Amino acid sequence: MSFSVILPTLNENDHIIKLIEEISQIFVTQKIQYEIIVVDDSSDDGTYETVKKFQQSATYLKVLSRKDKNRNLANSLNDGIFIAKFEHLIWLDADFQHPPKYISEFINKSKKFDVIICSRFLEESDRYFKNSKLEKEINENQSYIFNKICQKMLFKDITDYTSGFICIKRKFFNDFKLKGFYGDYFVDMIVELKKKKFKIMEIPFKDEARASGTSKTVVTINVKYLYTCFRYFVTLIKSIVRSKINH
């Protein structure tokens, strides 16, 4: 087996090297071939420069800059996928909300499944804001409600339609490209995976509060938040139509 790990970054300078090293250690310990691809989406805190310098001593590391391009998570992932060379792809948030230790489960379960998704909404999952000292971000409620609607309207065996923490076979992207804004790209991808009958498994995990910085998604109720809600709604309608056609 071999794995390409894609890290889309936006102002992660305070912790990105620690994350890269933790991910690398997992593969080194298990003696598995791997690469890590950092795709920086126009950070202004020195993230790209820090990773570029670290690359000099890390032969497994690739670094891409999306400077002067419109910030877009799906496009960042597409750029990483395009240069990925190994059999399995993994991507996760670069702010430690997605603990890298779950990559070990990806490795084990990828022998039997085409796609493994870390779900925030399985019964065994645990949320960072259950700690009374931490505040829930405002977009958490939006995400929870949206995923419940998706589960009811699309596929009952999927609980997290906006996960962003995934291991997936590289071959899926031979004729498919991610499209969307933030979480909506994931919904579209799940519908396509179901259409092509890929074997999907969800696993529970405990997410964490981000190590530093601010969210890449919406954190205040404003025009951008409402626009994101609208995009989610449009994506859901399109996905329902596609799923009905394909079944």
The pTM score is: 0.88
Query: What pLDDT score was predicted for residue 151?
Result: 93
CA distances from 234 to 148, 156, 181, 193, 229 (A): 16, 20, 12, 19, 9
Residue 136: DSSP 8-state:
P
Contact predicate 154/243, CB 8 Å: yes
CA distance 153 to 142: 16
Contact predicate 191/242, CB 8 Å: yes
H-helix or E-strand containing 35? strand 33-40
- The residue segments making up the domain with residue 142 are 2-246
Query: What pLDDT score was predicted for residue 219?
Result: 43
Helix, strand, coil content of the chain in percent (nearest 5): 40, 15, 40
What mean pLDDT is predicted for residues 35-63? 97
**pLDDT tens, residue by residue, 41-50:** 999 999 999 9
Helices (H), 31-118: 47-55, 73-83, 103-109
Pick the range with the lowest mean pLDDT from 14-18, 26-30, 101-105, 241-245. 241-245
Read off the CATH number of the domain in which 40 is found.
3.90.550.10
**Number of domains making up the chain:** 1
End-to-end Cα, the chain, rounded Å: 33
What mean pLDDT is predicted for residues 5-10? 97
Contact predicate 168/89, CB 8 Å: yes
**pLDDT tens, residue by residue, 78-129:** 999 999 999 999 999 999 999 999 999 999 999 999 999 999 999 999 987 7
